[in-house]
Amino acid sequence: MSTNATPGSFAPLQNDSFLRACLRQATDHTPIWLMRQAGRYLPEYRATRAQAGSFMGLATNVDYATEVTLQPLERYELDAAILFSDILTVPDAMGLGLSFALGEGPKFAKTVRTEADIAALAVPDMDKLRYVFDAVTSIRRALNGRVPLIGFSGSPWTLACYMVEGGGSDDYRQVKTLMYQRPDLMRRLLEVNADAVALYLRTQIESGAQAVMIFDSWGGVLADGNFQQFSLAYTRRVLDQLPKEFNGQRIPRIVFTKGGGLWLDDMNSLDCDVLGLDWTVNLAQARARVGGQVGGPGKALQGNLDPNVLFADPEQVAAEAVRVLESFGTPHTDRDTTGPTHVFNLGHGISQHTPPEIVKVLVDTVHAHSRLMRARG
């Protein structure tokens, strides 16, 4: 299977509302997709994962990865699919040995903490990530134009956190020690990560991804000043290396920093189309600060329902969805120009304990209420 997919090899898109909203173009409804929408809250996902034997067994098998990416689309009227993979595939390809125990987070067999460790790092051979690119092409074909496909990676800083800590962390002690004690080494690590992430995302685009997202999951743990130096600067380095279009199509780029609401104005300077927001951010204020005006430049906004809302009763879930939509306010409806737009999402990934039937309530409410908002102007 060739990763360099020719433009004629994919079906034309039937629902482009997600891509239009990313590019601040008017849509008939507010598009919705969910971070981790293909995941453990779905019984069919758990069944496929059991068949695959492990998380990496699932992610590295093209047929399984395709199957689980499409599972949520069989249940819900989502407006985009996101590649089933993990943010840590890049450091795994650098030889750090990624594994997942059932019910636990990711672990690396090797950590990166010393001058020698960092000197040995290099942008990995993309052939080691061929399984990801083959999955992108396979998923894009299987979607058959139903909705667009989003590719993604962890941000250089977020990858560095996992690489130095060896897994998740409560206090980020190892990675912050390295940053404060040897900022020169941290910068070298982040440079390698940024160039690897850029090549990784570029190859996903060449394989069929129609938008790409950078997950800066741990950017929010940094002090002000350090965020700009050690996270934002390297996210910018990734974006600078990505194509804005491929095969004549614009490729929207989304940046999501969990805990990044403090730095919205700094993030507004990024060369990306969409800023993802967690649930701590007021959407109306974010729109006023970075959403732009009709006919002028600005960022589309993505988010930002608290994932724990999905444990409430259906009436409350619907009411909270409406509240998020109303907080953003009326999207612009002029098809001839760009203006403030919103992609509905959660403020972080969906919890594995979420009842699957409640997600339908959320998706249907977002579509129905956002149409109502446009109708009333």
Q: What are phi and psi of 240, to 5 degrees?
A: -65, -20
Per-residue pLDDT at 105:
82
- Catalytic residue (choose from 162, 216, 236, 253): 162
For the annotated binding site, the residues are 36-40, 86, 162, 217, 348
Token pair 């700094």 is found at 266
Q: Tell how far CA 28 is from the center of its chain.
A: 23
d(CA 197, CA 195) in angstroms, rounded, equals 6
What is the share, in percent, of the chain residues with pLDDT greater than 70?
97
Q: Which pair of tokens denotes residue 45?
A: 């996902």
**pLDDT tens per residue, range 196-211:** 999 999 999 999 999 9
Tokens 């994932």: give the residue. 307
Is the per-residue pLDDT at 276 higher than 70? yes
Which of 86, 92, 216, 278 is flagged as catalytic?
86
- Percent helix, strand, coil in the chain, to 5, is 50, 10, 40
In the CATH scheme, what architecture does the domain 7-376 have? Alpha-Beta Barrel (3.20)
In this structure, the number of other CB atoms found within 10 A of the CB of residue 108 comes to: 21
Question: In this structure, how many other beta carbons lie within 10 angstroms of the beta carbon of residue 206?
Answer: 18
Proportion of the chain above pLDDT 90, given as a percent: 94
Q: Is the pLDDT of residue 102 over 70?
A: no
Per-residue DSSP letter, 241: T
The one catalytic residue among 49, 202, 236, 253? 49
Mean pLDDT of the region 289-310? 97
Looking only at the bridges linking them, the beta strands covering 249-250 and 245-246 are antiparallel
Tell me the pLDDT of the chain averaged across its residues.
Answer: 95
82 in helix, strand or coil?
Answer: strand
270 to each of 44, 227, 281, 290, how far by Cα in Å?
Answer: 38, 14, 18, 11
Known active-site residue 236? no
Q: How far is residue 211's CA from residue 308's CA, in Å, rounded to a whole number?
A: 27
| pLDDT at residue 100, as a whole number | 84
Would residue 40 show up in a list of annotated catalytic residues for this protein? yes
Write down the pLDDT at residue 7: 45
pLDDT at 5 over 60: no
Q: What is the pLDDT of residue 3?
A: 46
Tell me the two tokens of residue 320: 């909270």
Q: Write down the domain spans for the chain.
A: 7-376
Q: Given pLDDT bands bounded at 50, 70 and 90, which one contains residue 104?
A: confident
Among 40, 146, 188, 250, which one carries the catalytic annotation? 40
Binding site per annotation, positions for substrate: 36-40, 86, 162, 217, 348
Closest C-alpha among 252, 255, 177 to residue 209: 252
**CA distance linking residue 79 with residue 76, whole number of Å:** 9
- State the chain's maximal CA–CA distance in angstroms: 62
- The tally of CA atoms less than 13 A away on the side-chain side of residue 376 is 8
C-alpha 307/C-alpha 347 separation (Å) is 7
Report residue 111: phi and psi, to 5°.
Answer: -105, 165
Residue 311 has pLDDT above 70, yes or no: yes
162 catalytic? Reply is yes
Q: pLDDT tens digits for 209-233?
A: 999 999 999 999 999 999 999 999 9
Among candidate residues 20, 24, 36, 140, the one labeled active-site is: 36
* Residues 6+ positions from 320 with CB-CB distance below 8 Å: 305, 306, 309, 312
Alpha-carbon span 254 to 304, nearest angstrom: 14
- Judged against a pLDDT cut of 80, whether residue 310 lies above it is answered with yes
pTM of structure: 0.96
Q: Is the pLDDT of residue 40 over 60?
A: yes
Residues contacting residue 330 through CB under 8 Å, at least 6 positions apart:
373, 374, 377
